């Protein structure tokens, strides 16, 4: 806040400090986002150029996807522990990430039996749903509250990239038409898995954002709505 003193405008030191800390937080956030965007093609390059084995079920790119999903799931569970009033919603989100993680790790579960991944995936999703039903009063309101936060927006954009955009953009029909007789499935896999990695990275970034925000506002009535 500012006021006039002796004909001069004087800035309140506390207001100036808030502006500086807000500017610093913005710079840090977008710097981290920039590094995140750079890291995605670098990870894919490790598989394609350094290791020279493309992108497959046991590639660095796939392991990175699974690692990001695992971190996101844990962060949602930790956030649920800190915010009992939003626990039903947060456990559902964690259950979604857990189910997606099981699906991504299907190559290992299929060693037991082809398609075996379906059973642990159903177990994880059913557990999250049953637990959340017990806390159904803590689902809708937290969903509305969190949907207005920056972290949740990052998370949703990431999910849409993984579940929608990567599926459409990485379809074989599209790339076989583009490449014609030169079409090789490896190229399509590199493109699709790279896009998925970007989506998972944004999901994890949003999860970290939500966790940090929750940690800094746990004494308030609900998550701060960021503009």
Residue closest to 68 by CA, chosen among 79, 78, 57, 60: 60
Confidence at residue 180, expressed as pLDDT on a 0 to 100 scale: 83
For residue 210, being part of any structural domain is answered with yes
Q: What total of structural domains would you count in the chain? A: 1
In this predicted structure, what is the pLDDT of residue 1? 47
- Crossing angle of helices 185-217 and 172-179, in 10° steps, is 130
Confirm whether 117 is domain-assigned: yes
What pLDDT is recorded for position 227? 41
| pLDDT tens-digit map of 76-132 | 999 999 999 999 999 999 999 999 999 998 888 878 888 889 999 999 999 999 999
- The answer to the question of residue 23 being in a domain is no
- Is the pLDDT assigned to residue 223 strictly greater than 60? no
Assigned domain for 170 exists: yes
Q: For residue 21, is it within any domain? A: no
Q: What is the pLDDT of residue 90?
A: 97
- For residue 105, what are the CA distances in angstroms to 28, 167, 213, 215, 219? 33, 18, 30, 31, 38
**Domain assignment of residue 225, yes or no:** no
Cα 121–127–132 angle (5° rounding)? 130
Question: Domain range holding 187?
Answer: 40-217
Question: Burial of 225 by CB count in 10 Å (0-12 exposed, 13-18 middle, 19+ buried)?
Answer: exposed
- For residue 116, the SS3 value is coil
Enter the DSSP assignment of 51: S
**φ, ψ at 82 (rounded to 5°):** -80, -25
């Amino acid at each position: 806040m500012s006021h006039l003193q002796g004909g001069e405008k004087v800035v309140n030191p506390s207001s100036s400090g808030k502006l500086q800390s807000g500017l610093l937080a913005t710079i840090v956030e977008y710097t981290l986002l920039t590094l995140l965007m750079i890291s995605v093609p670098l990870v894919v390059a490790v598989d394609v150029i350094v290791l020279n084995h493309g992108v497959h079920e046991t590639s660095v790119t796939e392991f990175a996807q699974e690692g990001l999903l695992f971190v996101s799931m844990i962060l949602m569970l930790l956030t649920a522990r800190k915010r009992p009033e939003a626990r039903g919603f947060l456990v559902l989100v964690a259950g979604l990430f857990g189910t997606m993680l099981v699906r991504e790790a299907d190559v290992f579960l299929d060693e037991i039996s082809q398609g075996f991944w379906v059973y642990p995936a159903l177990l994880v999703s059913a557990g999250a749903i049953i637990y959340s039903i017990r806390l159904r009063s803590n689902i809708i309101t937290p969903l509305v509250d969190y949907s207005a936060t920056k972290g949740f927006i990052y998370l949703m954009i990431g999910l849409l990239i993984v579940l929608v955009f990567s599926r459409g953009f990485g379809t074989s029909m599209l790339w076989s038409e583009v490449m014609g007789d030169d079409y090789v499935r490896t190229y399509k896999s590199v493109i699709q898995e790279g896009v998925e990695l970007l989506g998972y990275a944004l999901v994890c970034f949003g999860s970290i954002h939500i966790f940090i925000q929750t940690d800094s506002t746990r004494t308030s009535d609900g998550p701060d709505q960021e503009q």
